[in-house]
Amino acid sequence: MKVIRAYVIRLYRRDASALAGVVEDVQSSRSAAFRSFAELAELLNGRRAFARRRATTTPSTSPDSRDIAPPSPHPPGAPTP
């Protein structure tokens, strides 16, 4: 039995003859960019692999996040009460 796959395809038209976009496999949440109809066909036919799924991080657990204090209501250099 053949498995039916579902995709979300976002098309971006750069000019009258150029096509680009992103295709996402709904089941695996993997996505891939394409720059032509031929590349899109390769992705949908399985001849080109989708990118590996990256682990999702939230801002609080991201290694780039920093604990930054909110801005002070007092101007810089002014004495604080």
The pLDDT tens digits for 26-74 are 988 899 999 988 999 999 988 888 876 665 555 555 455 455 555 556 6
What is the pTM assigned to this prediction? 0.56
Q: Which residue has the higher pLDDT, 32 or 77?
A: 32
Q: Is the pLDDT of residue 9 over 90?
A: yes
pLDDT at 19: 86
pLDDT at 10: 94
pLDDT at 34: 92
pLDDT at 8: 94
Contact 32, 54 (CB under 8 A): no
Contact 26, 6 (CB under 8 A): yes
How far are the Cα atoms of 19, 42, 71, 73, 75 from residue 36, in angstroms, in the given order? 5, 10, 47, 53, 54
- 40 contact partners, CB below 8 Å, separation of at least 6: 9, 19, 21, 23, 34
Contact 8, 24 (CB under 8 A): yes
